[in-house]
Amino acid sequence: MSLLVVGSRRSAVLGRGLRCISCTTNSSCARKVTKRSIPEPLFQQSTVSFRSFRTASCLHAKVTKHFPLADIGEGIAEVVVKEWYVKVGDRVKEFDPICEVQSDKAAATITSRFDGVIESLEYEVDDMAKVGSTLVLIEVEEDIPGTEVQSTPEEEIVSPSTDSESDRVSVLATPAVRRIARENDINLSSVPATGKQGRVLKEDILRFLQGQTGPPQRPSDDTPTLVPTPAPPTPSPSPRPPVASPVLEDRVEDIKGIRSVMVKTMTAANAIPTFGFNDEITMDGLVAVRSQLKGVAADRGIKLSYMPFFVKAASMAMLQYPVLNSSPNSDCTKLTYKAQHNFGVAMDTPSGLVVPNIKSVQEKSILEVAAELQRLITLGAAGKLGPGDMAGGTFSLSNIGAIGGTYARPVLLPPEVLIGALGRMQTVPRFNRKDEVVKARILNISWSADHRVIDGATVARFSNLWKQYLEHPATLLADMR
């Protein structure tokens, strides 16, 4: 049974008994509070609420925070600042975008850790920023705790009959959640709580702001999920060639951004002795297979080029020659054989040359490889490739023939030990088995391998198997797992 005690700090609970409201001493009173000692109407309308609390005095101070560039992984030590999303004087909140940075592996958006006002930007666009250095200075407000004052137990009347008093019901929530509620004039007691012990979470209040009054409903296993099929992409018009502006006088510019990253990567690659191997592939059989599968791919919203076939054939051939999917350590005393086939595809983007990779090619079908390649191309064109798209590559292919040329000398991307460059497919005259001149579609391939750990015979055998898969696609399908 709940009892109501009317009074101020003079009344308190001692042991299991209730002290009489007329007593002011701390000694136990013989006159215990009973149901008879409380007026009947008041007893029926209210309930007891006993609450002890602390009060604290606080001072608010403005403090300048140094916001450093955090480690974004993959051994990246420095990045290029590509774009600022804020300027001096702007007010930002936690998780608001601050800037976009670019490394040799990926682009990333840096978000704020604080609520405050931007005091200064420490870098200009295209400057090189080191991990751990200060990106911006942010002025924030902090609470400086003062002297705490311990109060005596407080009794209050909580009546469920009036809305104004029901707002006083204690609600479990973090200070951040309470701040969101205060800024949006929300009564926390009206927000459905999904946390432990009835705690209101940040997700709860955000759903409340969006008009959803309960926790998200999870679909039942019996309910079928409809996956919409994306429409096939519309072909984009051919870009116009850039209009060349003549250089009227000598000028000097800094090598920065992607170019500075390329300088370091290529300088490291130049220290590795490489073995080159070239060959040509007859593409007639693959052209016919691709023509048959283009309609199936288009129905699934996938653009099917020849590259998925090249990538998948390389993965299957590499199962026979796993040393080509390995990487040496820095002093080339140990060799790590990679279980995953994370194959990179070089892309010419507005930001420069990038090589995102398709993860676990050995586990994907040709159409799955094509879908992932399409996603990477879209992100690359928009400059939105993330660190996960760039990290962990084990082998690379460059489709330089899309621009022009037949043979090339591709440069390794350490610590990978093999890279291939595809030339332009062209129709040329060839002799068939009857010594008749026929038209043939030919594509040239150029390989470069780390000659410290890969011998020429291994590259040649791998290339022959890769070539067989492409010239006779039936064998590719027969060996596919």
Question: Which residues have a catalytic role annotated?
Answer: 451, 455
CA 406 from chain centre, in angstroms, equals: 37
Which of 307, 302, 306, 310 shows the shortest CA–CA distance to 291? 306
Residues 6 or more apart from 107 whose CB is under 8 A from it?
Answer: 82, 100, 101, 351, 383, 384, 385, 386
Residues comprising the chain, all counted: 481
Rounded-to-integer distance, Cα 258 and Cα 417, Å: 23
Amino acid identity of residue 474, one-letter, is: A
Q: Concatenated DSSP letters for 56-115?
A: EEEEEEEEEEEEE----STT--EEEEEEES--TT-EE-TT-EEEEEE-SS-EEEEE-SS-
Alpha carbon 242 to chain centroid distance? 34
Contacts of 248 (CB under 8 A, 6+ apart): none
Going by DSSP bridges, is the β-strand pair 78-84/128-130 parallel, antiparallel, or unpaired? Answer: antiparallel
The answer to whether 132 touches 147, Cβ cutoff 8 Å, is no
Region at 283 (left for phi over 0; alpha for psi -120 to 50; beta for the rest): alpha
- Specify which residues 148 forms β-bridges with: 56
| Phi-psi sector, 300: left (phi>0), alpha (psi -120 to 50), beta | alpha
How far apart (Å, rounded) are the C-alpha atoms in residues 169 and 158?
Answer: 8
Instruction: Say which residues have a Cβ less than 8 Å from residue 234's Cβ, sequence separation at least 6.
Output: none
User: SS3 letters for 209-266?
Assistant: HCCCCCCCCCCCCCCCCCCCCCCCCCCCCCCCCCCCCCCCCCCCCCCCCHHHHHHHHH
Looking at residue 416, the DSSP 8-state letter turns out to be: -
For residue 287, the tally of other CB atoms under 10 A from its CB is: 13
